[in-house]
Chain A
Amino acid sequence: MSEYVIETHNLTKRYGPVLAVDNLSLQVPQGGVFGLLGPNGSGKTTTMGMVLGLVRPTSGTFRLFGQETDGDLQDSLHRIGAVVETPALYPYLSGRANLRYFQGISGKGSPQEVAQILEMVGLAGRADSKYSTYSMGMKQRLGIAYALTGSPELLFLDEPTNGLDPAGVAEVRDLIRTMGTGGRTVLLSSHLLHEVEQVCDRVAILSKGKLIAQGKVQDLLHRRGAIRIKTNNDARAASILTSMPWIAGVSDEDGYLVASVAPERSWEVTAALAQQGVYISEMTPAQRSLEEYFLEVTGEDASSGPKGGK
């Protein structure tokens, strides 16, 4: 078994003059929640579409579950559950009948599994109502339920919290975290930075079809060369630290002082402040938010970009 469930190599998709995905080489390890982050039009959905066989790559290759696909994805797709773009199921069928149909065509699952999944996504009470009568939030939940039928090893979820109310968003995020346990991998595509930050273990950042960065979320957020401190007298501490030539800068962020200094020299900071009668109550390597990191590496806002892009 390969370490990666998805590996792409120079995957490219061009729509006429538009380069939707540009030489994307991505590795999604097995297990956990992997975020595909980028503004609208950055190529997230096209990338998912290529890996799922919906969109033909212009060039490049990819492997699923360690296997070369060679254009034949059927066996691999039987191990995958996916909701790409908005959830789209049959409007004239009930939620239950929709799930039974998709179980049926993949030849896996049972009515009991459908009942369990409907219970899990909170739709047991409306299971026999037609899909066309569902609210957007219920459709999102049924979309997740659809992806879960057949116990897939890999789940693709494309903007799964779109249209949900705040309570629904929290529930779905909990559900995604749960789904990413037990060896299953969830590939979550989102333009919501805080969602990815809260839910994902690893992330790949796309911008204008290119892979900008990928890695563990904690590693990406770790700000190199800065420490965050809390003291008994922050104003005096700021004054002392600013006067030290080996500290590049000091700023106040959310009630903490952030000093631009390598974390390895934190003992010198502690000593310098203590000599002046200022004592540290809290000290950690400084982290930035994913939003800050995103802005740093892409120079654009994650929620911006062309709407409805490929």
Chain B
Amino acid sequence: MIGHVFNLVRWEWFKLQRRWMPWILLALMVLFSQLFIWGTFFSYRNQVQSGGEFFLGAGGPGERGVRVSCNDLLAGRIPDLPPGIDPGVLEQLRLSCTRMTVERQDQLREMYSGFTLPGSIPNALGVAQGMGLFLIAILAASTLGTEFGWGTLRAVLVRGTGRWQYLTAKLVLISLLAGAALVVVAIVTLVSSAAAGALASEPPAGAPGALGWTDAMINFGKAWFGLLPYLALAACVTILTASSAAGMAVALAYYFAEQIVVAIFINVFAWFQTMADYLLGRNISAWMTGNQQRTLRGGLLTGEGAFPGDLHAFLVLSAYIIVLGAIAFRRFQQRDISGASGT
């Protein structure tokens, strides 16, 4: 039976590789992860080259302003100041620059670690995972829903394929493709990080970045597992509705609706914090962000509340996968496949 499922996985891949969609989704995932890497690189380079910048003047219409970099100030290169600017301000800026140079070292080390190996891998995987939630929902809804829409499900099932075997093969393939996409992202990041590292100047002084190869491996596993609940959600809705569009729409709408609802309610009702700790998106964020980024992401995405812990997130996400998967399998096993959409 397992052999039959693996045979189906193989032939599902035979089909899927001939569609444009998975390749486009992969390209988007790689593109966004690399935008993050190279964005960090250019931001770092700008910081290193300028040492930080100030803008003086242009207080009124028609007034000229001037950009003053810390590196110029500290090197004694005094810019021409716009009229009306007290030259004494430069001394204050020089003092600020001296203080910033010390404080900035940590930030620069963090940035440098973000686009060079091995720290770039977990960063890129984190971005790919965030983007991947949408992409896997689209892929799952499309690969399952088109079978209803095209009427090909009939053609598949009357070959003696077996319903649960077929659905299992589809879901296994999409899960494997999600993992493969993350591997591709990691490999591209490996190459691009090496290039970015070579293009960057000397690494900032001090201890290297906090993220290492172990983090890269852990983040790979976390990123992959973090994609599966959205795969289960999109698959479940698609099978219940026999529609790709509904599967995509509900999964994507849920993502945004949860963010908005949590952001509003968690600040209004204290009790909502407990409920929010069992919502899908919040647990994915908790699962992915890890301890060091929890406060920042919590503040940005879901209000002020702290995220649940890793174990809590793992259990909640596992429960979502199992429940949504069970609903999908049960409905798929029982539904009549008649008419063009199998409804």
Give A residues with C-beta under 8 Å from B.
45-46, 49, 52-56, 73-78, 80, 82-93, 97, 100-102, 104-107, 146, 150, 156, 310
Contact = CB atoms under 8 A, between A and B. Distances in A.
5 contacts: A49-B336, A77-B158, A78-B159, A92-B19, A102-B156
Given A88-B155, A89-B152, A105-B7, A310 B338 contact: yes
A54 B7 contact: no
A80 B157 CA distance: 11
Contact of A77 (B10, B159, B339, B340): B159
Interface string B137-171: 00000000000001110111111111000000000
B158 A105 contact: no
Given A54-B336, A88-B151, A104 B14 contact: yes
B11 interface: yes
Given A89-B155, A101-B15, 10 more contacts: A53-B157, A75-B160, A77-B159, A78-B160, A80-B158, A88-B150, A97-B18, A104-B10, A106-B159, A310-B338
B158 A54 contact: yes
Nearest to A51: B158
Contacts of A100: 14
B160 A76 contact: yes
Contact of B339 (A90, A105, A310): A310
Interface string B7-42: 110110011001100000000000000000000000
Nearest to A86: B151
B274 interface: no
Contacts of B160: 73-78, 80, 106
A104 B7 contact: yes
A52 B18 contact: no
A53 B342 CA distance: 13
Given A91-B150, A104-B11, A74 B162 contact: yes
Nearest to B160: A77
Contact of A85 (B4, B7, B8, B151): B151
Contacts of B18: 92-93, 97
Interface string B191-231: 00000000000000000000000000000000000000000
B3 to A, nearest CB: 9
Contacts, number: 90
Nearest to A87: B155
Contacts of B157: 52-54
A49 B10 contact: no
B58 interface: no
A105 B156 contact: yes
B15 A93 contact: yes
A107 B7 contact: yes
Contacts of A146: 155
B92 interface: no
A49 B338 contact: yes
B337 interface: yes
Nearest to B21: A92
Given A86-B151, A104-B11, A53 B158 contact: yes
A105 B338 contact: no
A158 B14 CA distance: 28
Contacts of A82: 158
Contacts of B336: 49, 54-56
Interface string B322-338: 00000000000010111
A76 B157 CA distance: 12
A115 B113 CA distance: 57
Contact of B152 (A74, A90, A107, A156): A90
B161 A88 contact: no
A156 to B, nearest CB: 8
Nearest to B4: A107
A178 to B, nearest CB: 22
Interface string B234-257: 000000000000000000000000
A74 B14 CA distance: 22
A3 to B, nearest CB: 23
A80 B158 CA distance: 8
Contacts of B158: 52-54, 77, 80, 82, 84, 156
A89 B155 CA distance: 7
A88 B338 contact: no
A102 B11 CA distance: 9
B334 A88 contact: no
B337 A55 contact: yes
| Central interface residue in A54, A73, A105, by most chain B CB within 10 Å | A105
B154 A105 contact: no
A150 B159 CA distance: 10
Interface in B298-343: 334, 336-340
A44 to B, nearest CB: 12
Nearest to A156: B158
A49 B11 contact: no
A78 B158 CA distance: 8
User: Residue among A76, A83, A107, A156 with the most chain B CB within 10 A?
Assistant: A107
B154 A54 contact: yes
A105 B8 contact: yes
Contacts of A87: 155
Given A82-B158, A89-B155, A97-B18, A54 B150 contact: no
Closest 4 CB pairs of A and B: A77-B160, A88-B151, A104-B11, A54-B337
Contacts of B7: 104-105, 107
